[in-house]
Amino acid sequence: MKRAKKIIDNVYWVGVRDLNNRHFHGDLYPIDEGCTYNAYLVVDDEVTLFDTVEEEFTEELLERVESVLQGREIDNIVVQHTEPDHSGGFKKVYAKYPNAKVYASISGKKNMIEQYFDQVPYQVVKTNDTINTGKYDFVFVEMQMIHWPDNMLTYCPQLKTVFSNDAFGQHIVNFNLTDEGLDKAYCLKQAKEYFANIVLPYTTPVQAKLNLILGMNLDIEYIMPAHGIIWKDYIGDIIETYKGIAAQKTENKAVIVYESVWKHTQQIAESLAEGFSDAGMDVKVYKLSDTKSSIVMREIMDAKVVCIGSGTYNNVMAPSVAAFLEHIRPCKLKNKKGLAFAAYGWFNQVAKEIDTRMQQSGIESCHDVINQCYTPSDDQLEDYYNIAKEIAKKCQE
């Protein structure tokens, strides 16, 4: 039998661990250790469930709930986000507890009806609306476009807890559930990776809502997200991290991504890397076909310079490069300089096309594109080395 895990008095984790998941959101986000779908049960004069899980795991959630309630009813279900990894189990849960009041944002109600075709009597709530369950008050905060229109989070002042849904999430599978005893750098790195791969296109609303939440001067001892570990020891650190990534603050770092068959493009990438490094920048170099996209997205998020290169294949760029450029196009990147480079034999337009697409992604071109016909000579590689040093110097002025 699956049992609930007590987090603090009257608050239980009743979610699931999807240990075999290696692709989150389809192939959008490769992950290493599986993921969690976190749902939380708060026992008071009234019992409240925050979110459900993927449909296939609903019975596991219900077992955990029953291990606490022992036949008692759920009085309230809060639908903080309607994406199926959080709401897929709702119909079965509501069927078991049909007298529960269901709370959702106005977009949440609309989405639930359109996804599941049920005319449930949803209670629509907006920012600063409150429900009381006995000892506890729950305050709702709408979080539109973080990362769907329906998102919201809930704060309980008596528990000093934020039920944050996708905000502050990551894909750490830890059976102890909290960040207690875990390496801080690792936790923050995983949170950055989640943000880069899921939330990055929405930094403007994240920044606005983060400022709203901070302006409420909430006393927070726990942040309980819908994915990953619960924040307890590193609450100040994760909030500061979110402030930085929402503002798209950059570090003195260059990220070079490329695709190459005969190593001509690779040679350019390596020369650029040497130049950036010798100019004092941190450098990351990735061959796209050999690197998980989730890692590349995490690293470019705070990079000051992004260089993208490709060989020429039947007069077009490599498919992996085209896919990567399409991946970052909606991300609305800010505060980044860019350089496009390509190797070719007889068609020299690929670097120009990469440059155009980089600019469409928000990356500002900082140098003429590099077009390399066949094998670069030592003198040409030296030129590329110096181009990188020149870009680094401009970025550090």
Measured distance CA(63)–CA(59) in Å, rounded: 6
Would you call 25 a catalytic residue per the annotation?
yes
Q: What pLDDT was estimated at residue 4?
A: 98
Would you call 147 a catalytic residue per the annotation?
yes
pLDDT block averages, 10 residues each, the chain of length 397: 96 97 86 96 98 97 98 98 96 97 97 91 97 98 93 98 97 97 98 95 92 93 98 98 95 98 97 98 97 96 98 96 96 96 97 98 97 98 98 91
Residue 337 β-bridge partners: 305, 364
Catalytic residue among 29, 194, 258, 385: 194
Catalytic residue among 23, 25, 118, 186: 25
Catalytic residue among 86, 147, 171, 367: 147
Would you call 166 a catalytic residue per the annotation?
yes
Q: What pLDDT was estimated at residue 30?
A: 92
Catalytic residue among 75, 81, 155, 344: 81
In which residue are the tokens 């959008």 written? 28
Residue 314 CB: number of other CB atoms within 10 A? 5
Would you call 55 a catalytic residue per the annotation?
no
Catalytic residue among 83, 179, 193, 355: 83
CATH number of the domain located at residue range(s) 5-246 in this protein: 3.60.15.10
Please check whether residue 232 is in contact with residue 334, taking contact to mean a CB–CB distance below 8 angstroms.
no
Measured distance CA(239)–CA(207) in Å, rounded: 11
Q: What pLDDT was estimated at residue 28?
A: 78
Q: What pLDDT was estimated at residue 128?
A: 96
- pTM beyond 0.85: the answer is yes
- Beta strands 370-373 and 251-259 are unpaired
Q: What pLDDT was estimated at residue 5?
A: 98
Would you call 85 a catalytic residue per the annotation?
yes
Domain with CATH 3.40.50.360 in the chain: 254-392
Catalytic residue among 44, 75, 166, 353: 166
Catalytic residue among 142, 202, 222, 227: 227
Which of these, 304, 309, 317, 293, lies nearest to 257 by C-alpha position? 309
Virtual CA dihedral for 287, 293, 298, 299, nearest 10 degrees? Answer: 10
Q: What pLDDT was estimated at residue 235?
A: 98
Element (H, E) at 209: helix 203-215
Domain with CATH 3.60.15.10 in the chain: 5-246
End-to-end, the C-alpha distance of the chain in Å comes to 61
Measured distance CA(167)–CA(146) in Å, rounded: 7
Would you call 9 a catalytic residue per the annotation?
no
Pick the CATH number of 254-392 from 3.20.20.140, 3.40.50.360, 3.40.50.300, 2.40.30.20: 3.40.50.360
Residue 380, classified by CB atoms within 10 Å of its CB into exposed (0-12), middle (13-18) or buried (19+), is middle
Residue 253 β-bridge partners: 282
Catalytic residue among 44, 54, 85, 302: 85
